Amino acid sequence: MLRMFIAFSTCCALLLSSATVYAASTTPIHWGFVRSKNEVAPEAGKHADALLEKYNAFYKDADATEKTVYLTFDNGYENGYTAKILDVLKKTETPGAFFITGHYLKDQPELVNRMVDEGHIVGNHSWSHPDMTTVSREKFAQELSKVSDGFKELTGQDGMTYLRPPRGIFSERSLEWSQELGYVNVFWSLAFVDWKIDQQRGGDYAYNEIMKQAHPGAVFLLHTVSKDNADALERAINDLKARGYQFASLDDYMLDHTMIDPLAN
């Protein structure tokens, strides 16, 4: 977070300055951005860009010179559509990343194993989906370790690299804590209201939102509870590829940007 340090002449003023810095570092931020139009990458603002860069977090590939995009899904619970989505990814040979909660891990072990077996990334979305800016350091670590430990026990894969903060709420402190635990926070630059299962609008709606917001370097966020997404995904992938887009994995992004080696875990 950008900070202004001001020198004061008294001890009390110095203490006040220190408290202000600490309070600012814990201030919750709700992720948001100006949506993409005409394939121009969206902007979250200089403040958010600087904060994410400081902690090696990202929401788009700002350096993309080609039409490379990254497909990610949030899996809080299962609504019957993830298998279809996996079928589409397999058919179109498209990599994906699935951010799972503790509930999903316990409730859908077969689907989690399928994600791994078919070469997709599984990321951490916390155990109980709390506002991670409000929990203690111990609780923060527990929320992540319970998912990563359970994932290792289920799949045999050691460690998780990627974290998506629940509800898109974060703070400088949560970015710092997660980085200390070895995570890279992955936000997004393409999203729409797709998670309300009682307000689905049809596959054409999801398709149109994906196509009109697509841009080079995009990180897509889709929710697997959405029937609209499951119905639209194959058409959207094929049409984006026809427009020259290529789908890469988050590991590709990391290697290209030499942030960390995702295989080091």
Residues catalogued as catalytic: 74, 223
Work out the burial of residue 65: count CB atoms within 10 Å of its CB; fewer than 13 is exposed, 13-18 middle, 19 or more buried: exposed
**Tokens 């279809």 -> residue:** 84
- For tokens 């989906």, name the residue: 129
- Beta strands 29-30 and 169-170 are antiparallel
Tokens at 176, concatenated: 């710092």
Is the CB of residue 244 less than 8 Å from the CB of residue 65? no
In contact, 61 and 217? CB cutoff 8 Å: yes
Angle between the N-to-C axes of helices 172-180 and 11-25, in degrees from 0 to 180, rounded to the nearest 10: 70
Q: What angle do CA 89, 93, 96 make, to 5 degrees?
A: 50
